[in-house]
Amino acid sequence: MKKTTKIFSSIAILIYLISGCATNVPLNPMFLEEENKVVGIALVDFPSVAAHKYGDGGVLDILVNEALAIPLQQYLNQYDISTFAEVQDKMQIKLETMNMDVIKINELINVRELPEIEGSNDTDYSSLKEQYNIDYLLLISIHRIGTIRKYALGVMPQGSPDAICQANGQLINLDTNEVYWKYNMGEGESVVEPGQTMEYSS
Protein backbone atom coordinates (compact mmCIF):
# COMPACT_ATOMS: atom_id res chain seq x y z
CA MET A 1 0.00 0.00 0.00
CA LYS A 2 1.25 3.48 -0.85
CA LYS A 3 1.29 6.23 1.74
CA THR A 4 2.24 9.86 1.16
CA THR A 5 4.22 11.77 3.77
CA LYS A 6 5.04 15.50 3.85
CA ILE A 7 8.69 16.57 4.01
CA PHE A 8 10.21 19.71 5.47
CA SER A 9 11.32 22.83 3.63
CA SER A 10 14.55 24.53 4.74
CA ILE A 11 13.11 27.86 3.67
CA ALA A 12 10.09 27.39 5.92
CA ILE A 13 12.37 26.72 8.87
CA LEU A 14 14.46 29.77 7.99
CA ILE A 15 11.39 32.02 8.06
CA TYR A 16 10.49 30.76 11.52
CA LEU A 17 13.98 31.35 12.88
CA ILE A 18 14.56 34.89 11.62
CA SER A 19 11.06 36.31 11.65
CA GLY A 20 11.11 37.05 15.38
CA CYS A 21 7.44 36.09 15.66
CA ALA A 22 8.07 34.28 18.93
CA THR A 23 11.20 34.10 21.03
CA ASN A 24 12.25 32.70 24.37
CA VAL A 25 14.84 35.46 24.76
CA PRO A 26 14.23 38.68 22.76
CA LEU A 27 17.20 40.14 20.92
CA ASN A 28 19.44 42.13 23.27
CA PRO A 29 19.59 45.70 21.87
CA MET A 30 23.27 45.89 22.82
CA PHE A 31 23.98 43.48 19.98
CA LEU A 32 22.79 45.95 17.35
CA GLU A 33 24.54 48.88 19.02
CA GLU A 34 27.96 47.23 19.21
CA GLU A 35 30.30 48.09 16.33
CA ASN A 36 33.04 46.04 14.66
CA LYS A 37 31.65 42.73 15.86
CA VAL A 38 32.12 39.46 14.00
CA VAL A 39 29.30 36.92 14.04
CA GLY A 40 29.90 33.25 13.36
CA ILE A 41 27.01 31.14 12.07
CA ALA A 42 27.18 27.44 12.89
CA LEU A 43 25.01 24.35 12.95
CA VAL A 44 24.92 21.72 15.67
CA ASP A 45 25.54 18.16 14.46
CA PHE A 46 22.33 16.72 13.04
CA PRO A 47 20.15 14.18 14.86
CA SER A 48 18.93 11.04 13.14
CA VAL A 49 15.81 11.30 11.02
CA ALA A 50 13.14 9.36 12.91
CA ALA A 51 9.48 8.35 12.90
CA HIS A 52 8.29 10.03 16.11
CA LYS A 53 5.13 8.95 17.90
CA TYR A 54 3.00 10.24 20.74
CA GLY A 55 -0.15 9.25 22.61
CA ASP A 56 -1.17 6.78 25.28
CA GLY A 57 0.44 3.36 25.42
CA GLY A 58 2.48 0.95 27.47
CA VAL A 59 5.81 -0.69 26.82
CA LEU A 60 4.29 -3.46 24.69
CA ASP A 61 2.38 -0.89 22.62
CA ILE A 62 5.59 1.01 21.99
CA LEU A 63 7.35 -2.14 20.80
CA VAL A 64 4.47 -2.99 18.45
CA ASN A 65 4.41 0.53 17.02
CA GLU A 66 8.17 0.50 16.51
CA ALA A 67 7.85 -2.72 14.53
CA LEU A 68 4.99 -1.38 12.40
CA ALA A 69 6.96 1.78 11.65
CA ILE A 70 10.02 -0.08 10.31
CA PRO A 71 9.17 0.54 6.59
CA LEU A 72 8.76 4.27 7.23
CA GLN A 73 11.94 4.43 9.31
CA GLN A 74 13.90 2.64 6.59
CA TYR A 75 12.68 5.18 4.08
CA LEU A 76 13.55 8.10 6.34
CA ASN A 77 17.06 6.71 6.78
CA GLN A 78 17.64 7.41 3.10
CA TYR A 79 16.68 11.07 3.41
CA ASP A 80 19.58 13.56 3.19
CA ILE A 81 19.05 16.45 5.60
CA SER A 82 22.37 18.13 4.83
CA THR A 83 20.45 20.64 2.69
CA PHE A 84 19.36 22.24 5.98
CA ALA A 85 22.80 23.89 5.87
CA GLU A 86 21.30 26.32 3.34
CA VAL A 87 19.91 28.10 6.40
CA GLN A 88 23.43 29.34 7.16
CA ASP A 89 23.74 30.99 3.75
CA LYS A 90 20.35 32.69 4.09
CA MET A 91 21.15 33.99 7.56
CA GLN A 92 24.56 35.20 6.43
CA ILE A 93 22.95 37.25 3.67
CA LYS A 94 20.42 38.70 6.11
CA LEU A 95 23.05 39.73 8.66
CA GLU A 96 25.34 41.18 6.00
CA THR A 97 22.49 43.41 4.82
CA MET A 98 22.58 44.78 8.39
CA ASN A 99 26.26 45.71 7.84
CA MET A 100 27.64 42.94 10.04
CA ASP A 101 30.82 40.96 9.51
CA VAL A 102 29.81 37.32 9.26
CA ILE A 103 31.81 34.08 9.17
CA LYS A 104 30.16 30.87 8.07
CA ILE A 105 31.50 27.98 10.13
CA ASN A 106 31.48 24.89 7.93
CA GLU A 107 32.15 22.35 10.68
CA LEU A 108 29.19 21.03 12.61
CA ILE A 109 29.46 21.93 16.31
CA ASN A 110 29.34 19.02 18.75
CA VAL A 111 28.00 20.77 21.85
CA ARG A 112 28.54 17.62 23.93
CA GLU A 113 32.30 18.03 23.51
CA LEU A 114 32.32 21.58 24.91
CA PRO A 115 32.95 22.12 28.64
CA GLU A 116 30.38 23.39 31.10
CA ILE A 117 30.58 26.79 32.75
CA GLU A 118 32.13 26.35 36.19
CA GLY A 119 29.40 25.99 38.80
CA SER A 120 26.69 25.62 36.18
CA ASN A 121 25.23 23.04 33.82
CA ASP A 122 25.27 25.55 30.95
CA THR A 123 27.65 25.05 28.03
CA ASP A 124 30.80 27.18 27.84
CA TYR A 125 31.17 28.39 24.24
CA SER A 126 34.00 30.86 24.93
CA SER A 127 36.71 28.67 23.36
CA LEU A 128 35.04 29.14 19.96
CA LYS A 129 35.88 32.86 20.04
CA GLU A 130 39.58 32.28 19.47
CA GLN A 131 39.11 29.15 17.40
CA TYR A 132 37.03 30.93 14.74
CA ASN A 133 38.02 34.55 15.43
CA ILE A 134 34.45 35.61 16.18
CA ASP A 135 32.72 37.67 18.88
CA TYR A 136 29.24 36.16 18.70
CA LEU A 137 27.98 32.73 17.77
CA LEU A 138 24.63 32.25 16.04
CA LEU A 139 24.02 28.57 16.70
CA ILE A 140 21.25 26.69 14.92
CA SER A 141 20.23 23.17 15.88
CA ILE A 142 17.62 20.63 14.83
CA HIS A 143 15.87 19.23 17.87
CA ARG A 144 14.11 16.51 15.91
CA ILE A 145 13.31 15.77 12.29
CA GLY A 146 11.35 13.15 10.40
CA THR A 147 7.68 12.38 10.89
CA ILE A 148 5.27 12.52 13.81
CA ARG A 149 2.09 10.54 14.30
CA LYS A 150 -0.46 10.33 17.07
CA TYR A 151 -1.69 6.98 18.40
CA ALA A 152 -4.81 6.22 20.43
CA LEU A 153 -5.07 3.28 22.84
CA GLY A 154 -1.44 2.57 22.16
CA VAL A 155 -1.72 0.97 18.71
CA MET A 156 -4.36 2.87 16.73
CA PRO A 157 -2.79 5.49 14.40
CA GLN A 158 -4.72 8.74 14.13
CA GLY A 159 -4.22 9.83 10.54
CA SER A 160 -1.13 9.80 8.34
CA PRO A 161 2.35 10.78 9.58
CA ASP A 162 3.12 14.51 9.37
CA ALA A 163 6.54 15.84 8.50
CA ILE A 164 8.32 17.51 11.40
CA CYS A 165 11.42 19.65 11.59
CA GLN A 166 11.78 21.26 15.01
CA ALA A 167 14.67 23.72 15.10
CA ASN A 168 16.22 25.97 17.74
CA GLY A 169 18.46 29.00 17.50
CA GLN A 170 20.49 31.11 19.90
CA LEU A 171 22.90 34.03 19.72
CA ILE A 172 25.73 33.85 22.25
CA ASN A 173 28.18 36.52 23.39
CA LEU A 174 31.43 34.57 23.49
CA ASP A 175 33.07 36.96 25.97
CA THR A 176 30.43 36.32 28.63
CA ASN A 177 28.49 33.25 27.42
CA GLU A 178 25.37 35.42 27.74
CA VAL A 179 22.50 34.46 25.47
CA TYR A 180 21.58 37.57 23.46
CA TRP A 181 18.72 35.89 21.58
CA LYS A 182 17.04 32.51 21.76
CA TYR A 183 14.27 30.85 19.81
CA ASN A 184 12.86 27.37 20.29
CA MET A 185 10.25 26.13 17.86
CA GLY A 186 6.99 25.11 19.46
CA GLU A 187 5.32 21.80 18.73
CA GLY A 188 2.71 23.37 16.45
CA GLU A 189 5.24 25.40 14.49
CA SER A 190 7.44 22.39 13.81
CA VAL A 191 4.87 20.51 11.73
CA VAL A 192 5.45 22.11 8.37
CA GLU A 193 3.45 22.40 5.20
CA PRO A 194 4.49 20.12 2.34
CA GLY A 195 7.14 21.44 -0.01
CA GLN A 196 6.94 18.19 -1.96
CA THR A 197 5.80 14.64 -1.28
CA MET A 198 7.53 11.31 -0.90
CA GLU A 199 6.11 7.84 -0.98
CA TYR A 200 7.06 4.63 0.73
CA SER A 201 5.64 1.13 0.64
CA SER A 202 4.41 -0.76 3.68
State the pLDDT at residue 196.
35
Taking the C-alpha atoms of residue 16 and residue 3, their distance in angstroms, rounded to an integer, is 28
| Eight-class DSSP state of 161 | P
Angle CA 182–185–188, to nearest 5: 155
For position 24, what pLDDT does the model report?
79
Alpha-carbon distance of 171 to 17, in angstroms, equals 12
pLDDT reported for residue 198: 36
Instruction: Count CA within 13 A, CB hemisphere, residue 79.
Output: 27
CA geometry: angle 172, 83, 194, nearest 5 deg: 105
Tell me, what's the pLDDT at 136? 97
The pLDDT, as a whole number, for residue 101 is: 95
Task: Write down the pTM of the prediction.
Answer: 0.72
**All residues at 6 or more sequence positions from 137 whose CB lies less than 8 Å from its CB, including other chains:** 39, 40, 42, 125, 128, 171, 172, 174
Q: Which residues are CB-contacts of 85 (< 8 A; sequence separation ≥ 6)?
A: 43
The low-confidence residues of the chain, meaning pLDDT below 70, are: 1-23, 52-73, 75-76, 79, 81, 153-157, 186-202
Quote the pLDDT of residue 166: 80
pLDDT value of residue 153: 64
Tell me which H or E stretch contains 172.
strand 162-173
pLDDT at position 102 is 95
pLDDT of residue 94: 86
For position 9, what pLDDT does the model report?
Answer: 45
Terminal alpha carbon distance of the chain: 6
**Displacement of CA 36 from its chain's centroid (Å):** 29
List beta partners, residue 52: 148
